[in-house]
Amino acid sequence: MNEAKKTARILVVDDDERNRRLLIAMLEAEGYTVQEAVDGERALELVRQSPPDIILLDIMLPGIDGYDLARLLKANAATQAIPIIMVTALDDRASRLRGLEAGAEEFVTKPVDRNELRVRVHNLLRLKEFSDFLADHNRILEERVMERTASLHESEQQFRGLVEQSITGIFIIQDDKFTYVNPRFAEIFGYESAEELIGRHRLIMVPEADRGAVTERIRRQFERDPSVGYEFSAVRRDGSPIEVGVHATRATHQGRPAIIGLMQDISEKSRAEEQIKRYVEQLETAFMSTVNVATTLSEMRDPYTAGHERRVAQIAVAIGAELGFDARRQEGLRVAGHLHDIGKITVPLEILSKPGKLTAIEYQLVQGHAQASYDVLKDVKFPWPVADVALQHHERSDGSGYPQGLKGDAILLEARIMAVADGVEAISSHRPYRPGLGIDKALAEIECGRGTAYDPAVTDACLKLFREKGYVISA
């Protein structure tokens, strides 16, 4: 408070010079800066020039008395916060009430007691200091509130502009009715303005026959997650069909539960996806037709094994399904089955159709078909390891196969499946050098080679397929 004493300025208003001198002496002794005025007019002029921190005001003044001067000061927003101590010889209750009504904060009775004056001035200055602090704090808060309000208003305008001009439909649902939709939402469903949808039921654009299913699906999704995404068939205002995609979230809007969401017209997307699906199906059909052409050409050259590749493919797919292969991987087995022997085009026909035992050189030529198949297929960009299956389908689990002598898991699983399928079909079917031995003999030989020639898991799946599930090789 010593700092306050040095800086505080006090105005003494009294028409009696001796009283003024006495008050000024007391106040300056406390370290205050003191100004003086002999009447109300001069006091108002000094206050207008430089408002003091506190005013000592005599009641009995010429012209404007102390009561009127106090009322004038308190009525002015620029001076109403200045504390006033009335200095008076009047000590009756009525005079003090008039002073309080005029706005005085304190009273000092003449003759003035120095200690009393010091305490009252000190207390009022501390009170004014605190009041000034609160006033400044409130002013800063008001400025910040105004700035924040302006900023929020600007942000709101920007946000509203973004929402209103969005290319995505935006909606808010409360009590199963639309409480807000943006212009794009209305446009998607063929309405001229957003206002036409306000208050309408949320299922207005869902075909009546589908409403129960759509509602149930949304309910189940919301039970798992507060945000959901779904697609459904809707109708525009004119009854024309439309496909829409929605992403919605449970939220609170204006203090009440709501669903806020985004909606897009995905009709073109759905049509494009359907068209792409048809193109893919056409490509897959064309691809398999090409594979069938290659197989047919091979069969035309070697009629004694006609249908071998097709039957091997069928058995391989069935074993793959038994082992848990998905549809895509089964399709890879089908393609590999059709093409696994394509390299036999490099083997002379007289060797392929020879009824007797092959010589060592002839057998080496036949063994070369695995590498030849790989060389034919390796540069074709299949989504499956077709070339490697063709190369490895004569490898054996114990390393006794060809052309690389691979063992166990070093052989592709698809190639291990193809080896079993190829063995079953070859043993059971007719060959130039022997008649067909039948499926039972074929399965017995496969079972005999379990763990040595053939993979155990693949062998077990094959045996279960034929013996327990009654699988039959197509003609």
- Say if CB 423 and CB 454 are below 8 A apart: yes
3-state SS assignment for residue 104:
coil
| Mean pLDDT score across all residues of the chain | 84
- Report residue 5's pLDDT band, with 50, 70 and 90 as the boundaries: very low
Q: CA-CA-CA-CA torsion for 406, 408, 410, 415, nearest 10 degrees?
A: 80
In the block, residue with structure tokens 């009252």: 120
CA–CA distance, 78 with 80 (Å, rounded to integer): 6
Write the pLDDT tens digit of every residue in 228-248.
888 888 999 999 998 888 888
Check residue 153 and give its pLDDT.
56
CA–CA distance, 342 with 278 (Å, rounded to integer): 30
Check residue 4 and give its pLDDT.
43
CA–CA distance, 412 with 294 (Å, rounded to integer): 24
Helices within 165-255 (DSSP H only): 183-188, 211-224
343 pLDDT higher than 80: yes
Q: Retrieve residue 46's tokens.
A: 């000094």
What count of other Cβ atoms lies within 10 Å of the Cβ of residue 44? 18
Q: Give the residue-averaged pLDDT of 30-37.
A: 93
81 pLDDT higher than 90: no
- Report residue 154's pLDDT band, with 50, 70 and 90 as the boundaries: low
Q: Where are the domains of the chain?
A: 2-138, 169-265, 272-467
Q: Retrieve residue 340's tokens.
A: 């696994």
Of residues 38 and 354, which shows the higher confidence score? 38
Please provide the CATH number assigned to the domain covering 169-265: 3.30.450.20
Q: Give the residue-averaged pLDDT of 297-307.
A: 57
Check residue 218 and give its pLDDT.
80
Return the percentage of the chain with pLDDT > 90, whole number: 38
- Report residue 279's pLDDT band, with 50, 70 and 90 as the boundaries: low
Could you give the maximum distance between any two Cα atoms of the chain, in Å?
A: 152
Peptide bond into 83 cis (omega under 30): no
The per-residue b/e assignment along 89-126, b for 16 or more CB within 10 angstroms, e otherwise, is: ebeeeebbebbeebbbbbbbebebeeeebeebbeebbe
Please provide the CATH number assigned to the domain covering 2-138: 3.40.50.2300
| Amino acid (1-letter code) at residue 330 | Q
Phi then psi dihedrals of residue 125, to 5 deg: -65, -40
**272-467 homologous superfamily:** Hypothetical protein af1432 (1.10.3210.10)
Angle, alpha carbons 471-474-475 (nearest 5°): 145
- Report residue 428's pLDDT band, with 50, 70 and 90 as the boundaries: confident
Residue closest to 429 by CA, chosen among 315, 292, 291: 315
Check residue 174 and give its pLDDT.
92
Residue closest to 372 by CA, chosen among 353, 347, 349, 348: 347
Q: 133: part of which helix (H) or strand (E)?
A: helix 114-164
Least confident stretch, 122-136, 175-189, 274-288, 307-321:
274-288
Helix 456-467 / helix 439-448 crossing angle, nearest 10 deg? 150
- Residues belonging to the chain: 475
Write the pLDDT tens digit of every residue in 49-63.
999 999 999 988 998
Q: Give the residue-averaged pLDDT of 305-325.
A: 88
Q: Dihedral of CA 293/294/300/304: which sign?
A: negative
